Amino acid sequence: MKEVILDLGPVHAVDEAAFAQAIEQWAEWQASRETQPGKERDAPDLMIKTVSDAAGTLRKSVIFQKPEWASAFMGFWEGECAAS
């Protein structure tokens, strides 16, 4: 399975409240699409991690199992960024 990794940029540039809201909206969207609630998966729907680039700058990344999940999250994230 290929992952979709979204690099949201340097940590200091990420508004944590907007990021949390985008994650919450994505989780609600994902739950509304569930056909079998509680079904176990091989891997989590998304993972969030902070990574260091070659220059040592910390960056926030969100990793998804499916491209449509990443696309939906970007819609929520861009909406939150526009609202900030």
CB 60 within 8 A of CB 19: yes
Question: Domain-by-domain residue ranges, the chain?
Answer: 1-26+44-77
Residue 76 pLDDT > 80: yes
Residue 80 pLDDT > 90: no
Residue 40 pLDDT > 70: no
CB atoms within 10 A of CB 64: 21
Residue 39 pLDDT > 80: no
| pLDDT tens digit sequence for 42-70 | 667 899 998 787 888 888 899 999 999 99
User: Closest Cα partner for 26 from 72, 84, 80?
Assistant: 72
- Per the prediction, the chain carries an average pLDDT of 85
Percent of the chain residues past pLDDT 70, beyond the cut: 87
Which CATH fold would you assign to the domain 1-26+44-77? Alpha-Beta Plaits (3.30.70)
Residue 35 pLDDT > 90: no
